[in-house]
Amino acid sequence: MRQIIVLQTGNPDVMQLQDVAKPEPGEGQVRLKVQAAGINFADVLAVKGQYLTPTKLPLIPGGEFAGVIDALGPGVSGFTVGQQVAALTGQGALQEYAVVPVRGLIPVPAGLDAAEAAAFPVSYYTAYITLITLGRAVSGETVLIQGAAGALGTALIQVARALDLKIIALASTDAKLKIAADLGAHTTLNSEREDIVDAVKEALGGQGVNLVVEITGGEMVQRSLRMLAPQGRLMIVGAASGEQASLNPTALMKKNLSVTGVWLTPMLGDRQMVESALAFFGPLIASGQLRPQVGPRYPLAQSAQAFQDILDRKTTGKVTIEPQR
């Protein structure tokens, strides 16, 4: 079988395609025929050696994928050969077959194809945690979403619509803003505007927003704080700029602001949260109100190009790589 391997961290061109033997599942494992891998910015950072946790080499990139169970290891029950599942494993997605521990299998709502299933877990569970579990959003509040045409941004817009929030979407091009508007954003603004703080407040009649979903980092964090209404919540989900941000505790105190970091990985151990999220998403998918936004699809041999396109901000929706192509 073919797989992508990283032997040293760096830019996407360090990713190599190689042929290896098909793995056999061990105790408590299944083998998946990988149909689609959903690529997140965290995967790009892992290849560069810049993620929250140190990159362990050699690395098979990609932690989110979907496929069909091809073989069961000893001691596995509750799953069958031929069953379609999604997996969150931290790495291992970019190969034609992957061995996955049963605990790494993630339930996804019925009715999704392989690419949609691969695009679902990280973005939609993160959106749920950001707006509901930690953000405590309630109907009628306002939320500002950065990177609104990306995988997480499109998921956040759909979840925010289901919660009856007023949505302000930021993105860097008119085409990306149109995607956000088509999904239901009430106001769209170009994130490159120098007067973005004033523009946000003007859109709200001089008021601030209740929640800001911050993915940029650096200087933008200060701007995000200035956008908030009294008792507003800043939800830090990423730092795509790679720049450090500073916080002034006094500024937080003056408006009773709160700042919350969001990281999906440890939250997935909360089974009650996972079950609540599935109960929330199931009817929305069944009714057509929510659908993972699958963006560009690449074959395995073009994995490095997919990662570079994400770095260059050329993509919208969830980038997927299809190892069987």
Say which range, 104-113, 262-271, 286-295, 298-307, has the weakest mean pLDDT.
Answer: 104-113
Q: Which residues of 33-43 are buried (b: 16+ CB within 10 A; e: fewer)?
A: bbbbbbbbbbb
Amino acid 325: pLDDT: 92
Examine the pLDDT at 297 and tell me if it is beyond 90: yes
| Separation CA 211–CA 237 (nearest Å) | 12
Whole-angstrom CA distances from 318 to 81, 148, 158, 162 are: 27, 12, 14, 20
| Type and span of the H or E element at 39 | strand 29-39
- Segment 49-98, tens digit of pLDDT: 999 889 999 999 999 999 999 999 999 999 999 998 999 998 999 999 99
- Whether residue 279 lies inside any domain: the answer is no
Nearest CA to 120 out of 146, 91, 166, 159 is that of 159
Average pLDDT over the chain reads 94
> Per-residue pLDDT averaged across 286-297, rounded?
93
Interval 236-253: pLDDT, tens: 998 877 777 788 888 899
Residue 129 and residue 260 in one domain: yes
pTM of the model: 0.88
Evaluate whether residue 282 is within a structural domain: no
Residues 135 and 58 in one domain: no
**176 plus 304 within the same structural domain:** no
Domains: count for the chain: 2
| pLDDT of the residue at 76 | 96
Residue 316 burial (C-beta neighbours within 10 Å; 0-12, 13-18, 19+)? buried
- Which CATH number belongs to the domain containing residue 248 in this structure? 3.40.50.720
Percent of the chain's residues with pLDDT above 90: 87
| Dihedral, CA of residue 161, residue 156, residue 118 and residue 106, to nearest 10 | -90
For residues 7 and 113, membership in a common domain is answered with yes
Start-to-end CA distance of the chain, whole Å, equals 12
Residue 271: what pLDDT?
86
Residue 212 sits in the same domain as residue 316: no
Q: Is there a single domain that holds both residue 148 and residue 246?
A: yes
Same domain for 298 and 256?
A: no
Q: Do both 144 and 248 map to the same domain?
A: yes
Say which residue, 130 or 250, is predicted with more confidence.
130
Residue 107: pLDDT over 80: no
Q: Give pLDDT, residue 244.
A: 79
Whether the per-residue pLDDT at 108 is higher than 80: the answer is no
Asked whether residue 140 falls in the same domain as residue 64, the answer is no
For residue 285, being part of any structural domain is answered with no
Distance CA 308, CA 74 (A): 39
- Within a domain: residue 270? no
Residue 60 lies in a domain: yes
Check residue 216 and give its pLDDT: 86
More confident of the two residues 105 and 246? 105
Instruction: Read off φ and ψ for residue 2, nearest 5 degrees.
Output: -105, 150
| Angle between helical axes of 174-183 and 151-162 (0-180°, round to 10) | 30
- pLDDT 10s digits, 162-193: 999 999 999 999 999 999 999 999 999 999 99
Residue 106 shares a structural domain with residue 130: no
Query: Does residue 287 lie in a domain region?
Result: no
Among the listed ranges 68-72, 216-220, 225-229, 288-292, which one has the minimum average pLDDT value?
216-220
144 and 236 belong to one structural domain: yes
Q: Which two tokens stand for residue 134?
A: 């930690």
User: Which residues form the domain of 211?
Assistant: 123-265
Per-residue pLDDT at 101 exceeds 80: yes
- Tell whether 205 and 84 lie within a shared domain: no
